[in-house]
Structure 1
Amino acid sequence: MKFPYEWQIGWRYTRAGKRTTGNGFISFIALVSMSGIALGVAALIVVLSVMNGFQKEVRDRMLSVLAHVEIFSPTGSMPNWQLTAQEARQNKQVIGAAPYVEAQALLTRQDAVSGVALRGIEPSLEPEVSDIGKEMKGGKLTDLVPGDFGIVLGADLAATLGVQVSDKITLVAPEGTITPAGMLPRLKQFTVVGIFESGHYEYDSTLALVNIKDAQALFRLPAPTGVRLRLTDMQRAPEIAHQLARTLSGDLYIRDWTQQNKTWFSAVQIEKRMMFIILTLIIAVAAFNLVSSLVMTVTNKQADIAILRTLGAQPGSIMKIFVVQGVTIGFIGTATGVALGCLIAWSIPWLVPMIEHLLGVQFLPPSVYFINELPSELIPADVARIGIIAFLMSAVATLYPSWRGAKVRPAEALRYE
């Protein structure tokens, strides 16, 4: 296949070395521009992949404790929760439903006191909506027998209170009991029957689980607070919650997991956007290097341009030559950066531990971070967006030097040749 002469000359200038260009410095600047684009693209892909990995890790650990969707009544109790669960299951995206009671309380043992988010659960149905049963360090959820007043604590909460499985602990309910002596706090002794560790500090240090019947008796609730749901695709939780709001009967409130942690997820998205903008500046700097490289090429090739013009080449053809050269450099740099970035992002799970072993350091100490390994999630949409932006910036960078080349006047260029 025969390509237009503009393409052939542009590719020749891209491959040209000192012998063809007469100036090795120009070739070096072109190589630096190509390398800068590649490094900028690779850095952006790796950083976004690591941030995506952190977000996924935190989200998964969070959702091992939280339900994807919660349905509750404004009155504080839902007598017909079975009907609500049945109606919710009619949506094909809902794969699990379980009742719950939600309340606040204090746990005390000797001198240790800690405020907790108390959740009453049905042990037989809880595995349908959360993975806490798989994260038990001691005991199991089925040990929460109604009437025995057993309690399951998060690992950090148990450590704070200094308790282990089979220890006794006192729960103080916020609702008091009226006596002739006045309002007295409602106290109840519980037995620790299990300890879970989700890996998310907020829940491991503040969440306690009891049997739903015990929670109803303790807080004098006639029925569960509401129903928790699990979906086939947690990313569609806002959409499914909106659908359920139209199909469920009764006066109900519905919230999904993104609303419960809206501040955290908003902060992560802002960080990703800012990091994307900051690292895109690296690619912009490389694009400026590409401008200077092409400007020097145009200056060095003025005699060639003049000869082509005298042979009948139009200014648009001259412009195409340098556009082809610049776009080729940008494409090679972008493609190299995409390949390098994807390779590093894919290799992070085993590459970072190897570096830690060789250097004898640990980048994420477990005592400081709730995860001890660097996660990475390579999202194709991010890679495509980065590649397109880098290529477009490179293409735009070619316009001014190409325009300069098209404006060269043959007579002036050949006057001193």
Structure 2
Amino acid sequence: MSAGAAQNFQTFVDALMCKYRHSENLELDPDIFVPKQAPGKADSSGNIVLNTEVLALHDACINTAGTVEDIQHCLKCLRELDLTCNNVSEWDEVFKLLGAMPMLEFLNLTSNPLCNPMPRDQHSCRFPSVRQLVLNSTLISWSTLTELMPCFPNVEELHLSLNNYSSVDLDGSYQASSVCVLYFNGNNVADWCEVAKLGYYCPNLRALVMCEAQNLQSFGEADQCRALFPNLTSLTVSDTAIEDWEQIDTLMQFPALDQVKLQRIPLLEDYTEKEGRQLLVARLPNVSKLNGSMITDTEREDAERAFIRHYMDCDEKPARYFELESRYGKLDPLVQLNLKPKTTAEVKIKFGDQEETRKISLRQTVKQFKKSLEEFAAHPVSKFRLFYHDHTSAYGAEELRFPTRNLYALNITDGSDFIIVLKHN
């Protein structure tokens, strides 16, 4: 936010009052509140008391908390607070809010400029009720994070996306043992050795979501996987730079890994969606859920047989090929049928005594095709009609009346006729 807008900054309490005091009956927006009791009322002094468990104040120009007493007065039973896109920059202010909300379980501070260090006198603070902490796009440093996390001893889900991390700089011996789910999307980490530090920092990590790490090309060494991610059951690494099948094989080394999301990576660009999925399923016998879909026994067997056929004529075969061949034996290659629809046809164009043979694209629409015939007919499209005659049909010529219809929908064959007839004035 620009310096010129500084006069618009306000406290958390002011933003709350500004948003809800003007409503006559204090009915709450259902997109903002999920009230568990009566939504809100004014006390004898005219101040608002919000009996709600969920509160969101986005883009409200909040930069400070206000007084703890006022916050406690307004919010008696708040459990979820979302302050996305405000201007809170000091941890003192965050801790004031938390101190006034002893029941808070979810805190979202996305896009607040919290890059300043924590004050020393706050290190002893503890907020044991918080279970989910969202620090996306805050640019919080690793040094501040390692000082901050002991204040949240029971956080189970931590969000650190979009913080421009290119490395993981963990100081000291503290480990965030309570963290089971970590979101680390859109950062710049390229070396799995840095990612492995997350496994050390969160020794009980069960799910790691790390999409859009666009420079990440590997999953490190097998020993790292086993030692630093012993409890990881779910890994999401879509939109990364993985381009080597050997890296996919590394995923078998995670001792507890059961679910994987791996989409939009260079490795799969040359395959259809079905082919790519089959190759992944065949290489990952330890995974039961891929890209959000359960792998059935039938799908796995089909994928493993397809994997054998895929590599059977290759000079270099992966180790997984021989494992599967020992199970299914040597397979016969499938009969190759070309089931792709035709995209072109060689047809005759007739107009009066004129006739011309053309190879046309069947992907174009009737409108586009008629437009391409204007020069041959020496008339604009508005002056003629076009008929299609399939010699295998018993119904004669058919006028092409629908301009947006694709030509391939007509089942056009080589040698068919298109006949141009001028309209009567």
Structure 1-normalised TM-score?
0.20
Query: In proportion to residue count, which structure has more helix?
Result: 1
Select the structure with the greater relative contact order (CA < 8 A; seq sep ≥ 6).
Answer: 1
Structure 2-normalised TM-score?
0.20
